[in-house]
Structure 1
C-alpha cells in the first residue's frame, strides 16, 4: 500500500512539475518572440526552438518518470530570466508622433509650468496637426476633476483619464498611455512582455477626448468627482511628479501592474492609504461602481443615474470646429 502511494505521489509530483514547466515554457516562448532582436525571423526561430525544447523535456519527464529533464529545464529557464532582467526601458527610440515628447513640469509656489503639453488637431489617426506647448496653471484656480472612461470594445474594459478643470474654463487631461514606436500597434499580450514603455500625456480635452470619440469611434463617459480643493491640488501635483520621474527614468508599461488605472490608484494611495483594492481597478469598464463605493461620486444620484448621464459621446461628435469642446461635452442633455 505504501509503495503504491509513494509511486502515485511521485507521479503526481512529476506531473505538477511538468505542468509548471509547460506554463513557464509558454511564457518563455512569448518573451523570446517579443524581445529577441533582429526582426521576425530570429524571433520566430527562437520562440519555436524554445517551445520544441520544452515539449521534449515535458515528454521525457512524464514518460520516464524522472526529474533530470525538469532540472535541466530549470537551469535553462534561470538563464532566460537573467537575459530577461537585463532588458531595460529606454526613452531613446523612434517614437510615434503623438508620444514623441515627454511631459515634465516645474512647480513654483501655486503655479505649475508644464512642458510638452500636447495639443493636436486630429482629422484621422494618420492625419493631424501636431503641436506641443508650454502651459502654466495656477493651482489656486483648480476647481474640479473628472474621471473620463473611453470604451473601445468590451464593456468591461475602458481607458481611464483624469481631467482637471480651472475656473477660467480650461480643462487639462492626464492620460497614462503606452509609448508606441513608430508603426507599432497596441497589444494587450505584448503589454506583459516589455513591448512598450509607459508615458504620461497631458492635453486639452479637445485633443485627448475628441480623438477617441470623433476619430477612433470610442464611447466616452465623464464622471465628476467629489474632491476637496487640497486633494485636487495634491492629485494634480502627483501627476506632475510622475511625469518628471518618467522623464528621468523610463519604465515599461504592463497590462495589469502599470496601466491607466493601476498607476493612478498608486498615486491616489499616497493621498488616502485606506483606498481598497478592487477587481474593478482591472476591469476598468466597471470603475464607476468602485468610485461610487468609495464616495468619489455624489450619492445624491444612484450609480445607474450616473451611468446614464455620464455619456458624452453624442455631444462630442456633435461639437463643431472652433467650438469650446469642454463646454460642449458638459452641456445639459436635451430632454
Structure 2
C-alpha cells in the first residue's frame, strides 16, 4: 500500500467548503500496490480509486461569525475527517485514527469552545482519552496509523527537531502533550500496533533562514516512526517550463484552479506492507492540467534489507 501525504490548500476555489478550510493535512491512500513513478499518473486518471482522509488544522480564516460554517464544513466531510475518530480498512487490516482537531502545538487547547461543544473535550487529559478510545476501537488484528495536525511532545526540543520551536531563541518542544499521552498509554496498556504517526504544522524550512527541520523521528526500539509532512512551500512554479507548450485546455484548467502554469507540488509518500513501514520519501510532482508525473524523490527512510 502506498500513502501520499500533502496539503489541501484552496484546491477548488469554486467550492465553498475547500475555499474556507485553509490548512488540512491530507492523506491519500491507495489500496493496491503500484510503482511510485506511476502513482501520480494513476491518480490523475483514476481519482475515484483513492480515499482521502483529513484532520483539521489551524483555521487561518476562523472568525466568530463563521463558527457555524466551520461546523457545517466538518459535518460535510463525514468519515473523511478523522478527528477523534477511527476509520477502518478491513481488506488491508489498517485503521487510521485522528488526533485533536485545530491543534497548533504547545500546552493549550486551540478553539476550546468548539472542541467542548463538538467533541466534549475540555482539557488535555480529556483529549488524550478521546484519542486513546478511538485507537482502542480499531479491530484487534489491525495496525493503527495516527494522523494529527501537529506531532506529540517528547521528540526533542532543539530548534531543528521534528516539533522544535524555531521562532524563539533556544528552541523548545512544541509538540502536543495529549497526543504523547495517548500514544504512551496505548503502548503501555494495550497491544495496539502503531507503526506510524503522521502530522504536519511545523514547517521543514526553519524560521529566519535557520536551515531545515528533521522530518522523521523514531520511537523506542524503532517500533513507531514519527513523520512530519509539512514541506513548505507545498506548491511552486515548474522550473524551465515553456508556456507555449501548454495546450489551450490545460491553460483553461490551470486558470480555473487559480494557477498561472504547470506547478510542482510536494508530497511525502509512505510504503507499508503487513503493517510495517518499508519506505518513506519526499517527492515533488509536476502537475500540468490533468497530467501529473513524478519529478523528484528524496528517500527519508528505507527498512533494512535483513528485516524485509
**TM-score interval, normalised by the smaller of the two chains:** under 0.3
TM-score by length of 1: 0.23
Q: Report which of the two structures shows the higher radius of gyration computed on alpha carbons.
A: 1
More strand by share: 2
